[in-house]
A and B are shown apart, each in its own frame.
Chain A
Amino acid sequence: MAVLVYLESQKGTIKKTGFELASYGRAVADALGEQLIGVGFNLQDTKSINPYGMDVLYNVDTPEGSFFNADRYSSTIAGIASKEMAQVIVVSSSADGRYLGPLLSAKLDAAFLSNVVDLPTQYSPLKVKRSCFTNKAFNRTLSQKECNILSLSSNAFGLNEQQGDVEVRSEPYAEATTDLEVTAIDQATDKVSIADADIVVSGGRGLKGPENWHLIEDLASVLDAATACSKPVSDMGWRPHSEHVGQTGKPVASNLYIAIGVSGAIQHLAGINSSKVKVVINNDPEAPFFKAADYGIVGDAFEVVPKLIRKA
């Protein structure tokens, strides 16, 4: 029996979400008295996982130059899960994690539970707290299956360092079951993504036009933050869709969310609600965002933000 976590990586390096999944997986494995097993693909550096109490790490090699393939990845992970008799499998809430979860669930006849925000409160049957209604509420879900796939909301559990010396094993890469193929990836590697960022700086209509976005970008750059925007801003084409955060855009679960000239419509607030600390800068003291924020400045973004850039 085992608890299994899927470790996402970029260029062979395990991502920070992987350490959070391992920390969470360790806690689940301890509660069940089982081993914690990790699965990664093409990892160059497996030592970085050592401080997170993992027992075994399967490092799967895929052919040179191949891309992420959800079908083959999920079959490989499902194979290891069956061999190790995994009861709980944890994936992240990233685009890839949420892609793999349902595929794994179908391949293993397991339940899939998305948006998990805490440790299970019981294991047989498994019961766990999840967010729903795009962070406007939570629920306690009871599984009806023996094996469960959890997708952990990012930043919901945090990191928990401990001693460890992982045993690395290899595993063959599963064959494809469909003809779907990734042909190319267009990814900005020089910019931190909204999903990976500790800090997100977001702009709304209050910035008056795309020509003023240097304020958002410069602040993001000094804070090593990702940039985001409100729905009207992306609808008007000031910024790409990929930056739209909110109920119909991307969810944000950063440590710090700074909203500049964003009024705070209920749909926007739902999407950013899981962020730990929220700061609003808006010249309208009646903007709904002030009710959702931890810290606020009532003032003109064009005066406040340049000062913040200089001092941050």
Chain B
Amino acid sequence: MNILVCISPVPDTTSKINFKEENTAFETLGIQYVINPNDEFGLTRAVHLQQKVDAKVTVVTVGDASCEPILRKCLAIGADQAIRVDLQPQDGFQVATQLEALCKKTNYDLIITGRESIDYNGGMVGGLLAVHMGIPYVPNCVHLDLSGNDVALEREIDGGKERLKSSLPLIVGAQKGLVEEKDLIIPNMRGIMQARQKPLEVVSPIEVTAATLVEHYEKPPEKGAVKLVDAEDIDGLIDLLTNEAKVL
């Protein structure tokens, strides 16, 4: 059984976001990159399945050489091998098209993406890839169990959960809940040493133009100062919310 986990390196969640080149590019100076948290929940589930159903776990990212430490971290967490498609992508459409080319060369039974990356929040790679491959897709996935070729899943929906069934091959969009935060694997020294020996293949990209281009970035306007209300003056707060903010 082959599992492919798609990894996006993203700025650490505590990062301050700034732009350069007259706000046309993201300022990467001083930014610490991490595995996109949604992808990490997916990778952790894949590593659990690897032990349970004897699966081979491949991680892939579409990005330049600066992404390799992130792939090595995935290998230290427990993935068996890594692939880097050598292209700095402009949008999710380009990523999905590169992954499609990869999935046509090797058969993957289960493909895991994150629900969305926390930088561009596109949330489209899994869905695009699924339609292109003609296989089902379950985003916001909070439960995934395999039994032979049958898959039982849960998708988080507004105000609840939806239970689904499918057969392999299948694509899921992972998020918190697929595994718990406490289940995330912190690589140990043995894992880190082994990761150095595991294969990391660099693949040339196929020719494809992006569907969208980001022209310009801007930061939200500066916020005014908070209006403090005395803890004894609940009526004052209700009055402000009713008559000034008009939200009650």
How many angstroms from the CA of A31 to the CA of B182 in the assembled complex?
51
Q: Does A191 contact B (CB under 8 A)?
A: yes
Query: Are A179 and B166 interface neighbours, CB within 8 A?
Result: yes
From B50-58, B104-112, B126-134, B189-197, the one touching the partner chain is: B126-134
How many angstroms from the CA of A127 to the CA of B126 in the assembled complex?
24
CB-CB under 8 A from B207, the residues of chain A are: none
Query: Are B170 and A180 interface neighbours, CB within 8 A?
Result: yes
Q: Digitize A171-189: 1 where CB-to-B-CB distance is under 8 Å, 0 elsewhere.
A: 0000001111111111111
Q: Classify chain B's interface size.
A: 35 or more
Majority-rule SS of A interface residues: mixed
Task: Given A103-B137, A248-B37, answer yes or no on A297-B162 (Cβ-Cβ < 8 Å).
Answer: no
Residue from A106, A183, A242 in contact with B127 in the complex, judged by beta carbons closer than 8 Å: A106
How many angstroms from the CA of A141 to the CA of B19 in the assembled complex?
15
> Which B146-194 residues have C-beta < 8 A from chain A?
155-167, 170, 175-177, 181-182
Q: How many whole Å from A35's CB to the nearest CB in chain B?
A: 25
Q: How many whole Å from B55's CB to the nearest CB in chain A?
A: 21
Q: Does B92 contact A (CB under 8 A)?
A: yes
Q: Does B240 contact A (CB under 8 A)?
A: yes
Query: Are B127 and A293 interface neighbours, CB within 8 A?
Result: no
Q: Does B229 contact A (CB under 8 A)?
A: yes
Query: Are B245 and A256 interface neighbours, CB within 8 A?
Result: yes
Q: How many whole Å from B170's CB to the nearest CB in chain A?
A: 7
Residue from A106, A111, A184, A191 in contact with B159 in the complex, judged by beta carbons closer than 8 Å: A191
Query: Are A194 and B231 interface neighbours, CB within 8 A?
Result: no
> Which A282-312 residues have C-beta < 8 A from chain B?
290-300, 303-304, 307-308, 311-312
Query: Are A103 and B164 interface neighbours, CB within 8 A?
Result: no
> Which A178-206 residues have C-beta < 8 A from chain B?
178-189, 191-196, 198-199
Query: Are B231 and A132 interface neighbours, CB within 8 A?
Result: no
From A39-47, A207-215, A273-281, the one touching the partner chain is: A273-281
Q: Classify chain A's interface size.
A: 35 or more
Query: Are B159 and A187 interface neighbours, CB within 8 A?
Result: yes
Q: Does A71 contact B (CB under 8 A)?
A: yes
Task: Given A179-B136, A290-B226, A295-B241, answer yes or no on A142-B121 (Cβ-Cβ < 8 Å).
Answer: no
Query: Are A255 and B247 interface neighbours, CB within 8 A?
Result: yes
CB-CB under 8 A from B206, the residues of chain A are: none
Q: Does A249 contact B (CB under 8 A)?
A: yes
CB-CB under 8 A from A87, the residues of chain B are: none
How many angstroms from the CA of A267 to the CA of B176 in the assembled complex?
15
Query: Are A105 and B124 interface neighbours, CB within 8 A?
Result: yes
Residue from B123, B234, B248 in contact with A114 in the complex, judged by beta carbons closer than 8 Å: B123
Query: Are A185 and B245 interface neighbours, CB within 8 A?
Result: no
> Which A215-273 residues have C-beta < 8 A from chain B?
223, 235, 241-242, 244, 247-249, 255-256, 266-267, 270, 273
> Which B194-248 residues have C-beta < 8 A from chain A?
209-220, 223-224, 226-231, 234-235, 237-238, 240-241, 245, 247-248
How many angstroms from the CA of A195 to the CA of B159 in the assembled complex?
8
Residue from B17, B142, B166, B235 with most neighbouring chain A CB atoms (10 Å): B17
Query: Are B210 and A294 interface neighbours, CB within 8 A?
Result: no
- Chain B residue nearest to A242 (CB atoms) is B156
Q: Which residues of A contact B (CB under 8 A)?
A: 67-68, 70-71, 94-96, 98-99, 101-103, 105-107, 111-115, 127, 131-145, 177-189, 191-196, 198-199, 223, 235, 241-242, 244, 247-249, 255-256, 266-267, 270, 273, 276-277, 279-280, 290-300, 303-304, 307-308, 311-312
Q: Which residues of B contact A (CB under 8 A)?
A: 11, 13-14, 16-17, 19, 37-38, 92-93, 116, 118-128, 130-132, 134-140, 142, 155-167, 170, 175-177, 181-182, 209-220, 223-224, 226-231, 234-235, 237-238, 240-241, 245, 247-248
Q: A180-B166, A181-B164, A296-B228 are in contact. List 18 more A-B contacts (CB 8 A).
A: A99-B139, A103-B130, A105-B128, A106-B130, A137-B218, A138-B217, A140-B217, A179-B167, A180-B137, A187-B160, A249-B176, A266-B16, A267-B13, A294-B227, A296-B226, A297-B230, A307-B234, A311-B238
